[in-house]
A and B are shown apart, each in its own frame.
Chain A
Amino acid sequence: MISIGPTYLLYYVPLIVSISLVFGATRHEDTQTILKHAFYTARWVTGFMFVIFIVLLMLNWML
C-alpha cells in the first residue's frame, strides 16, 4: 500500500517544525504571535498533506 516504511515519515517532523517557525517569524515580531502563526501553519500543512494522502490512498484502492 505505502511504498516506504512509516519511519520515513519521521523526516517530516523536523522539517515542519523548522518551516513553520521560520514562516511565522518572517510575518511577525512578537514571540507569542510567531508561535501561534507557526502552529497554524504546521496544522494547515499537515492537514493538507493528510488530505492528499487520503486521496492517493483512495485512488490506490479504486485503480
Chain B
Amino acid sequence: MSNSGTVIQVDDQKIDLKNRRLAAFLAWLLPGAGHYYQGRHTKGSLYLVCILTTWIVGFALGGGHVVYASWQPGDKRWHYFLQAGVGAAALPALVQGNHMRKATENGRTRPGYQPLWGGFMAPPYRPVVEDHPDEIAAWYAQYGAGYEMGTWYTMIAGLLNILVIYDAYSGPLSVPISGRKKKDDEDEPAEAASGDQADTKVASTNGAEANA
C-alpha cells in the first residue's frame, strides 16, 4: 500500500479512500456503504450481501428475539455489543431497550407495558432469572438450537463488519506473514519486471529478508 494522501495502491489497483472517517462511519451504518462511497462497488456488494445475509439469517433463526439491548441483573446482554457492529440494523434494539428500561421498576416490568413495533427487538419481560420459566426460557424452548445459532450468527456478522470498517478506513489489511512467503516465491519474477509495486508486495519482500 503506497500512501499518497488518501490514495493507496493495492493489488495493482489505485483506491481513493476519500474521507476515511466518513467511509468508516458509513461502513458501520450499513455494511458495504463505505466502500460504495469510495467507489469500491464489488467489495461493497460482497460485504452487503455476506454480512447482512448472515445477520438476517441469524435473526430469523432465533425467531427475531436474539437481538435486544438489556443490561439488567440476570440478563446482561453483552452479545448486543457485537451485534451492533452491523450498525443501523441493530439500532431499533436500543429504542426498545430504553422503552423497557422506562417500564421497569425494581427489576420488574410494569403491568400494562406494551413493546413498540409488535415486540420487534424488544427485551424479554422482567425479571429474568436463571433456571426460571421466564420469557427467555420460552424462546429457548420454542426455537431450540436456532436461538443459540441465531445469537452466534448475528454476533459474527457484527464482528465481521468491524473488519469491513477498518478496510473502509485504511484499505485492505496486510497479508499475514504465513501467506507472504508463498506469495513472494510466486511473484518474484513479476516483481523484478515491474517497477511500481504495491505495498503488500514490498512488505512481503521485507518480510522475506527479515526471515533470512
Q: What residues on B are CB-neighbors of A4 within 8 Å?
A: 145
- Do residues A29 and B15 form an inter-chain contact, with CB atoms below 8 A? yes
Minimum CB–CB distance for A34 against chain B, Å: 8
Q: Does A39 contact B (CB under 8 A)?
A: no
Structural contact, B10 and A28, CB atoms closer than 8 A: yes
Task: Say whether, besides A4-B145, A22-B163, A23-B163, A29 and B40 are in contact (CB < 8 Å).
Answer: yes
- Minimum CB–CB distance for A59 against chain B, Å: 23
In this complex, what residue of A is CB-closest to B157?
A: A18
**B166 touching A26 by the CB < 8 A rule?**
yes
Extra inter-chain contacts (10) besides given A18-B51, A33-B11, CB under 8 Å: A8-B145, A19-B160, A21-B50, A22-B50, A25-B167, A26-B167, A26-B172, A27-B172, A29-B15, A37-B179
- The reply to whether A21 and B40 form a contact with Cβ atoms under 8 Å apart is no
Q: How large is the interface on B (under 10, 10 to 19, 20 to 34, 35 or more residues)?
A: 20 to 34
Binary contact readout A25-53 vs B (1 if CB under 8 angstroms, 0 otherwise): 11111110110010000000000000000
Chain B 8-43, CB-CB to A under 8 Å as 1, else 0, gives 001111010000000000000000000000001011
Interface residues on A, range: 20 to 34
Cβ-based interface call for B54 (8 A) = yes
- Tell me if A's interface is mostly helix, strand, loop or mixed: helix
Q: For the complex formed, measure the closest distance between the CB of A52 and the CB atoms of chain B, giving whole angstroms.
A: 17
Residues A28 and B11 in contact, CB atoms below 8 Å apart: yes
Report A-chain residues with C-beta under 8 Å of the C-beta of B164: 22, 26
Q: List 29 A-B contacts (CB under 8 A).
A: A11-B145, A14-B53, A14-B54, A14-B57, A15-B156, A18-B156, A19-B156, A21-B50, A22-B50, A22-B51, A25-B43, A25-B46, A25-B47, A26-B163, A26-B164, A26-B172, A26-B173, A27-B173, A27-B174, A27-B175, A28-B10, A29-B10, A29-B11, A29-B171, A30-B11, A30-B12, A33-B11, A34-B43, A37-B179
CB-contact partner of A18 in B40, B160, B179, under 8 A: B160
A19 to B160: give the CA distance in the assembly, Å: 7
User: Which residue in chain A gives the minimum CB-CB distance to B165?
Assistant: A26
A37 to B15, CA, bound (A): 20
How far does the Cβ of A3 sit from chain B's closest Cβ, in whole Å? 11
A53 to chain B minimum Cβ distance, whole angstroms, is 18
Q: Is B149 an interface residue (CB 8 A)?
A: yes
CA distance A29 to B11 in the complex (A): 6
A11 with B149: in contact, given A19-B156, A31-B42 (CB under 8 Å)? yes
Query: Are A22 and B11 touching (Cβ within 8 A)?
Result: no
